[in-house]
Structure 1
Amino acid sequence: MWSGDELDLDAYLERIGLRENPLAPGELRADLATLYAVHRAHTAAITFESLDVLLGRPVALDVKSIEGKLVHGRRGGYCYEQNSLLAAALERIGFEVTGRGARNRTRGDSLLAVTHAVLVVTVDGEEWLCDAGFGHQGPREPVPLGRPGADVEQGKWTYRIREEEDGVLALCLLRGDTWRDLYAFSPQRYHPVDYVVLNHYSSGHPHSSFVGRVIVQRPGDDVRRALVGRELTSLHPDGRIERRLVGPDEILTVLDREFGLRLPDREAEELVGMYLAGD
């Protein structure tokens, strides 16, 4: 399903910092401990970013292209790339992995199209939501789907699954004293080819939120950071948000310092040029 047999698993594990972890490649099993370790390491190491869309580069979803960019090129990616890579790795390890399509709910009451890709992994008969591609508000660890309404604490951050009509499940994040919906998804299974269609819209349609602006995000343990356009925000577990503007002279430094992202020279030059043109 996810072309896990084509993935260089050793290179992937080295990229996310698990190669020299006690969970060595030969000891990885399709169990909950491994799922947690891989998910958490992936979200820590690989930044959410859609800069190729901004720069007019094609976003390929075959495993070798994603591996070349996110693993060997040490770039980041957005949900289709991130979760396709995670799915391939988990499948290669031996997990049962299926896809879902989700509606973003972080933009008020607007009904948005299904454009977000998430994964459901089954371990010992229990389903777990896995998502390495929702940016700074996304979960760092798997979230159990069979316990609607239960608080799921991940360090200083708390998530919850809410069950709605027709089997729809919503992932919620506690910010301060307020629960906020992140996205909702139905039981319908999605396949890699479905993500190709969603990726076509997200990477090229003029109404896509990724077209025409910088989006780089990272879900830290203590602070969640996001660069959208020129605004850098820092989200704290108590709900506080700090904001500041980023100028052309510091954009590359911010990408490196705050997000661990270094662009190749050509892309870096183009990005700075876009920031200068906007002044």
Structure 2
Amino acid sequence: MSEDLGYGWQGDLVDLPAYLKRIGHDGDIAPTGETLRALHRAHTTSIPFENLEIMLGRGVDLALDAVQDKMVRRSRGGYCFEHNRLFAAVLERLGYEVTALAGRVTLGARKLLPATHALLHVRAPGQPHDEPAWLCDVGFGAGPLEPLPFRDGAEADQEGWGFRIQQRRTVSPWSPGTVSWELLQRGVDGWAQRHTFPMNETFRIDFDVANHFVATSTRSPFTTRPFAQKFTLDALHVLDGTDLTTTRPDGSTVSSSSLTPEQVPETLADTFGIVLEGEDVARLVDFARTNPRNG
């Protein structure tokens, strides 16, 4: 066996039958654009977004066997590094050309945040290079349902959810005119920038570094409260601390409620498909009780 130098995604270690069963995909797996769209849609609507390992006092392990055990075999969810670690390995196994990118989340941010969102630049094998590659974003928790073509100004309406990808030029005096990209999503007030990202290749070791910050820093939004999202064709369910909301594709709020800490585990199971085991239920309730969300 050749030495693993850390450049690829270890697609040969993927339990492909188990993954396909987890996301409910029983169609073609030939590495085409059609297959990529089907896998992306199945993944985003089957595997939820969640940060609960941090609340449970454990680290977030990005080793492929750990990610598969958690998200595939135990039917848990994860956040962007876990989702894209798994999806990149699956796509590599199927024969796609996969390049990871790092994005800077801007949606809802009140100040500049580090580049801690993982995205994937994907091409089908043999795809002509005069055709745009695909932007895959399975780890944000709120879509898109399907990949977006890497084409300036490309818009997609996916079951009513709206997304746009476009180029942007930086205004930094250190790199004037540098071209990067941004992903926008459509809401009740029109288009809003979700994250920005340059075309710089990111590797597994870069995931590890960013993951350490996200999972451990007091400045990370994911170390302060439970956060989960379940994305479906017609609704986005969000648990933020003990606040539960459901929104529709147009951005309108369908329901909003505040839970007691004791209601959180049951809600995670019923609404998000996240079933905690053993002592994890008590641990999460205790965390929610002793760490109330601060506005």
Please tell me the TM-score bracket, short chain as reference.
over 0.9
Q: How does 1:158-197 map to 2 (within 5 A)?
A: 158-165=162-169, 166-197=178-209
CA distance in 1, matches of 2:56, 2:66: 17
TM-score, with structure 2 as normaliser: 0.88
Contact residue 83 and residue 119 of structure 1 kept, 8 A: yes
The corresponding residue for 2:211 is: 199
The corresponding residue for 1:145 is: 150
Q: 1:17 aligns with which of 21, 24, 48?
A: 24
Q: Secondary structure at the match of 1:265?
A: coil
Q: 1:239 aligns with which of 228, 251, 259?
A: 251
Q: 1:260 aligns with which of 246, 251, 273?
A: 273
The corresponding residue for 2:117 is: 116
Contact residue 168 and residue 179 of structure 2 kept, 8 A: yes
CA distance in 2, matches of 1:95, 1:22: 17
Q: Secondary structure at the match of 2:157?
A: strand
Higher helix fraction (1 or 2): 1
AA at the equivalent of 1:17 = G
Q: How does 1:52-131 map to 2 (within 5 A)?
A: 52-108=53-109, 110-123=111-124, 124=127, 125=129, 126-131=132-137
CA distance in 1, matches of 2:291, 2:164: 40
The corresponding residue for 1:154 is: 158
The corresponding residue for 1:271 is: 284
Q: Secondary structure at the match of 2:117?
A: strand
Contact residue 236 and residue 247 of structure 2 kept, 8 A: yes
Give, in angstroms, the shift of residue 109 of structure 1. Answer: 5.3
TM-score, with structure 1 as normaliser: 0.93
* CA displacement 1:152-177 (0-9 Å, x = unmatched): 11111110012101221110011124
Q: Secondary structure at the match of 1:237?
A: coil
Give, in angstroms, the shift of residue 108 of structure 1. Answer: 4.1
Q: Which runs of 5+ in 1 are unaligned?
A: none
CA gap of 1:99–1:264, structure 2 versus 1, over 3 A, is same
Where has structure 1 moved over 6 Å in runs of 4 or more? none
Q: Secondary structure at the match of 2:116?
A: strand
Q: What percentage of residue pairs aligned between the two structures are identical?
A: 37
Contact residue 176 and residue 237 of structure 1 kept, 8 A: no
CA distance in 2, matches of 1:191, 1:201: 16
Q: 1:223 aligns with which of 219, 227, 235?
A: 235
Of residues 54-63 and 197-206 in structure 1, the stretch that sits farther from structure 2 once superposed is 54-63
Give yes or no for the alignment of 1:135 onto 2:141.
yes
Of residues 269-278 and 156-165 in structure 1, the stretch that sits farther from structure 2 once superposed is 269-278
CA distance in 1, matches of 2:209, 2:109: 25
What is the number of equivalent residue pairs in this alignment?
271
Contact residue 224 and residue 291 of structure 2 kept, 8 A: no
Q: 1:7 aligns with which of 8, 11, 14?
A: 14
Contact residue 31 and residue 94 of structure 2 kept, 8 A: yes
Q: Secondary structure at the match of 1:135?
A: coil
Give, in angstroms, the shift of residue 110 of structure 1. Answer: 2.2
* CA displacement 1:126-162 (0-9 Å, x = unmatched): 31110111013x311111112x223211111110012
Give, in angstroms, the shift of residue 22 of structure 1. Answer: 3.1
* CA displacement 1:101-137 (0-9 Å, x = unmatched): 000011245221111111110132331110111013x
